[in-house]
Amino acid sequence: MKYTLLTAAASALLMAACSDSNPSSASNADNASNNDPNSTTGTLYVDESQHLMVTTFSNVHGNRCDLENNNLIWKTVTKNAVIDSSVYEFIGDTLVLYDYYEGGADNYGKLYVGGTAGNIYGSWVYTGIGRNRKTGEQERSTNTRYETRTYTYAPGKVTISVEYHMDLYVADEQERGYMESSFMVELYGYLARRSHMDDVINIMDNKDQASSIAQSIEKNGVQIIEGTKTNQTFKIGEKTYTVTVKKAETTLHYTGRTNREAIVEVSDGATTCSSYAIYKNVDENLCKTENLEYFTVKDDEDDDGNKFFYVSRYKNTDHEKFQECLSNIAVPIQNI
């Protein structure tokens, strides 16, 4: 029942914001959301006695690449109001938000810092750390190194803004080096004829793969001869291979997701196998019918229950030809 009452109160607040007595407040929020895709503004209802709050985002605009009659069409869509209810508490100068459902608050909350202890109003930054309400245990659930998500609460108003740290992401990727990626784990195994092969985009895997690399080297009998962050020469059995990253480019899409492009060569001294992979988030330029073969079509329903088909991730790679070439230079079967 509390959930219903809170939702009704939030709806009343939203309608008040859109009334003739204050005609500019709602349009200003919408304009801020439209002009900056990484910032959105909505209404806020707070019951301080119950430590309950409701955020409502209306007229949420977005873009989508729809498939209609075998043609891709770029559309601007408007979604219905999105309403979220939360229970909040303060632990020292840390704000904890627990999702609130009709049956009560969730036991797992998210931690925010930067505001004033005991005062919900102000700017709070998501830490990426979660807290178990029953046990008090905390653990990191989200990597926030590459993203700063700020929630600014004011009477009747909430603004969510996101800042992406692409420079840090690329720096970490380059510092780690491409020879420590999941692609190399699979490459060793594939050349040793022991495992499958992922496409070359995974040379840009920005995760700690040290343990998997070590296991793959031992399992596949790999002997590293020399290497840098972008190339490596190694032996498997009696064969010597060189892998070279010719291109590894990461850029930021406005949604916060990454666009990636990689070109990699693998040679046994006599034959060179070259492969490329391009992964991009769909935008108006890519949403063309001639690109349909590079998308996976998905289906969903809109707010009114109407089914639609759409695409979101552009993937262009010659992976199958690359695998075939690698099979021809892999260690001979009799040597396994």
- Say if 299 falls within a structural domain: yes
- Say if 51 falls within a structural domain: yes
| Residue 158 and residue 33 share a domain | yes
**pLDDT tens per residue across span 275-298:** 999 999 999 999 999 999 999 999
**What are the Cα distances from residue 151, in Å, to 6, 11, 114, 271, 301?**
20, 20, 10, 55, 29
| Residue 204 and residue 117 share a domain | no
Q: For position 335, what pLDDT does the model report?
A: 53
- Say if 204 falls within a structural domain: yes
- Say if 191 falls within a structural domain: yes
Residue 237 clears pLDDT 60, i.e. is over it: yes
Residue 29: pLDDT band with limits 50, 70, 90: very low
Residues spanned by the domain of 96: 2-61+80-164
> Residue 264's Cα: distance from chain center in Å?
24
- Say if 139 falls within a structural domain: yes
Q: Does the predicted model carry a pTM greater than 0.75?
A: no
| Residue 320 and residue 195 share a domain | yes
| Residue 186 and residue 157 share a domain | no
- Say if 90 falls within a structural domain: yes
| Residue 192 and residue 109 share a domain | no
| Residue 261 and residue 197 share a domain | yes
Residue 148: pLDDT band with limits 50, 70, 90: very high
Q: How far apart are the first and last CA of the chain?
A: 67
| Residue 217 and residue 200 share a domain | yes
Domain termination residue (choose one: 137, 164, 191): 164
| Residue 322 and residue 179 share a domain | yes
DSSP-based three-state secondary structure for 178? helix
- Say if 280 falls within a structural domain: yes
**pLDDT tens per residue across span 297-306:** 999 988 788 8
Considering its fold, how many domains does the chain have in total?
2
Q: d(Cα 61, Cα 33) in Å, to the nearest integer?
A: 8
What one-letter code names the amino acid at 292?
L
**What are the Cα distances from residue 305, in Å, to 116, 129, 299?**
43, 35, 12
Q: For position 334, what pLDDT does the model report?
A: 62
Domain termination residue (choose one: 148, 164, 180): 164
What one-letter code names the amino acid at 244?
T
Question: What residues are paired with 47 via a beta bridge?
Answer: 52
Q: For position 302, what pLDDT does the model report?
A: 82
| Residue 92 and residue 12 share a domain | yes
| Residue 129 and residue 109 share a domain | yes
Domain termination residue (choose one: 142, 164, 186): 164
| Residue 174 and residue 103 share a domain | no
Question: pLDDT over 70 for what percent of the chain?
Answer: 88
- Say if 66 falls within a structural domain: no
Q: Please give the angle made by the CA atoms of 245, 239 and 263, to the nearest 5 degrees.
A: 15
**pLDDT tens per residue across span 152-179:** 999 999 999 999 998 888 888 888 889 9
Residue 10 clears pLDDT 60, i.e. is over it: no
| Residue 172 and residue 89 share a domain | no
